[in-house]
A = this chain, B = another copy of it.
Amino acid sequence: MARNVKNIKELAALIGISATTVSRVLNGKAELYRISPATSKKVLNAANEFSYYPDRIARGLRLKRTETLGLIIPDIANPFFASIAKTIEFETRRNGYSLILGDSLDDIQTETELLNLFAGRKVDGIILAPVGHSSAHIEEFQKRGIPVMVIDRYLPGTKIPFITTDNYAGAFEAVEYMISKGHRVIACIQGLKGISVNTDRVQGYRDALEKNNITVDNHMILGNDFGVENGYIQTQILMSREKMPTAILALSNLISIGVMRALSEKNLSIPDDVSIVSFDDQPYSAFLASPMTTVEQLKEEIARIAVNGLLAWIRTGKIDQQIDKMLKPKLIFRKSVKTINV
């Protein structure tokens, strides 16, 4: 027995009561509408016995609120984003919301499509790790009234709130460390030019060099993509030059995988032939041929702040502009940087 009941009317009929009352009891508004305790109890019992769950779709339509968040990231297979996604999903659910996932494939066109798609699905808010340069489509979107929280980057010139890592500090520290180990010719393989993550890291790299009276050689800053392929190609270019760097700062975990691939093909080893520091610590970082010194970002923290900030925004209807945050990263020392003669 105890068959399932398909909607609130059916349940109401079973108790011999109106749907209105059932709805009110189930939404905790019994007192507010003076439903007697006896009736309340009957409703609760029946709902339980016949395992009635309100249809969230109908509810969403009526309430104009779906209790759903959208998450758009450039690549869920990238462990950096996968970790963030995990915490975001957890926090989202803990707050009674569900999460729609969109992988923008590092493509701004896809990102835009996803934004529109999510708008059509009436998500209550969106967490976005943006890709590419333009932020017009995001701003335009913001105007439609759907809260958007940016993670991993910030969008200069916009009012879109963000949570990210203090990338400048991360790069600065990493480079100072390499310099302290005697390195003077340090290359920087960067990701997508022009976006804040990259700009800030490169600036940290530059400033660390200059602070130590090392002239910045623009030929040593190269690449334009956060992926493996870019790390691979740029390393090949670097290694074919007369003036080879003694150290490389890789601006993402994927780039450093490309670096490793290129180096191993040339039978060059880390750190004997080239030293390296990579952004993004990973579970495997410690077990690489040469355990990798990395700049660790506080991924869980970013995720948590993003979700809770977004939900607060949704509930109150206004942005807490205080939310903008740049979390200090942490340099994890391992064995991929060699001390060389000064």
Contacts and interface: CB of A to CB of B under 8 A. Distances in A.
Contact of A120 (B55, B77, B105, B264): B55
Contact of A116 (B53, B61, B71, B82): B53
A204 B93 CA distance: 39
A26 interface: no
A66 B57 contact: yes
Pick the most buried of A66, A99, A101: most chain B CB atoms within 10 A of its CB: A101
Contact of A282 (B117, B122, B284): B284
Interface in A21-79: 53-58, 60-61, 66, 68, 71, 75-79
Interface residues of A, number: 53
Contacts of A228: 283
Contacts of A60: 57
Contacts of A236: none
A260 interface: yes
A58 B56 contact: no
Interface string A99-129: 1111101000000000011011110000000
B98 A100 contact: yes
Interface in A277-314: 282-284, 286-291
A118 to B, nearest CB: 8
Given A100-B99, A103-B86, A103-B90, A121 B57 contact: yes
A287 B101 CA distance: 30
Contacts of A291: 289
Contacts of A290: 289
Contacts of A326: none
Interface of A: 4, 53-58, 60-61, 66, 68, 71, 75-79, 82-83, 85-86, 89-90, 93, 98-103, 105, 116-117, 119-122, 144, 228, 254, 257, 260-261, 264, 282-284, 286-291
Given A57-B122, A85-B101, A257-B283, 20 more contacts: A55-B122, A56-B120, A57-B66, A68-B100, A68-B121, A71-B101, A77-B83, A77-B85, A79-B79, A79-B82, A82-B82, A89-B101, A90-B105, A98-B117, A100-B101, A261-B287, A264-B287, A287-B289, A288-B288, A289-B290
